[in-house]
Amino acid sequence: MLTTTRGIVLHHIKYSEKSVIAKVYTEKFGLQSYILNNVRSAKAKNKAAYLQPLSLVEINSNHKATKGLQNVKSIQLAVPYTDIPFNMSKTAIAFFVAETLIKSIREEEANTPLFDYIFNSCQILDLKKSNFANFHLIFLAQLCHFLGISPQNKSIDSGSIYFDLQEGVFVSVKPPHSNHVASPISNLLINILNANYNDTDLSLNYTNRKTLLTVLLRYYNIHLSNFENLKSLAVLEEVLN
């Protein structure tokens, strides 16, 4: 049946001289792989520019639930970006976020809250004129909730506290293993977990930002399978330095 769905492009690879396979997180069908024929030709309607990481698109396809690779009839931008493609820092963040989603989302079914969160976050990143250096940290912190791995006890009294990465909980007693983070990083992590994209009082320097990202990725790696070796991480850290 011919259907139309919004989607968030995560990745694409060359399939033939003029075609590509795109991994897209869709509103109606979850994570899907689409083949776009002749997309690399000069006269193609389905422009390759629509397939950059985090592009917000609308896809018309003859979706088949039992088919692993879906055929696209047409694709167009649902929300054109005005800044991400032209801002080196935002582009680096977009590549990083897209790779993070590839490694953390597996479901081939609709998840409206998760889709809306990602779709809206992408637009926020594009529209922000300043104060977006912490965007990727807040994105990862909030994404935990939708993935079912959100840390607990985030309202613990500040002071000498520890974050137990294995149990996903903040505690006042040092855990009996090495997978934990102590103050002051644990306190900064609480601030990130409770923050939103409009917060402007998150005063983080490059060193703290890098450390928090390392902690969050370590946490993801513990609680999600095959979550490691992010190729976009080095570029992100260099650009945001």
In order of start, what are the domains of the chain with their CATH numbers?
Answer: 2-79 (2.40.50.140), 84-239 (1.20.1440.120)
Residue-wise pLDDT for 129-163, tens only, equals 988 999 999 999 999 999 999 999 877 776 779 99
Q: How far apart are CA 54 and CA 7, in angstroms?
A: 9
Query: Quick one: pLDDT at residue 17?
Result: 78
The pTM of the full predicted model, rounded to 2 decimals, is 0.93
Q: Which residues of the chain have pLDDT under 50?
A: none
The H or E element containing residue 93 is helix 88-104
Contact 208, 134 (CB under 8 A): no
Query: Quick one: pLDDT at residue 89?
Result: 95
Query: Quick one: pLDDT at residue 219?
Result: 97
For strands 2-14 and 30-36, give the pairing: unpaired
Query: Quick one: pLDDT at residue 48?
Result: 67
Question: DSSP assignment of 64-92, as one string?
Answer: -TT-SEEEEEEEEEEE--SSGGG-HHHHH
Locate tokens 């049946």: which residue?
1
Query: Quick one: pLDDT at residue 213?
Result: 96
For the CA atoms of the chain, what is the radius of gyration?
19
Query: Quick one: pLDDT at residue 41?
Result: 64
Question: DSSP assignment of 106-166, as one string?
Answer: ---S--HHHHHHHHHHHHHHHH--S--TTHHHHHHHHHHHHHT-PPB-TTPPSSS-EEETT
Residue 142 burial (10 A CB sphere; 0-12, 13-18, 19+): middle
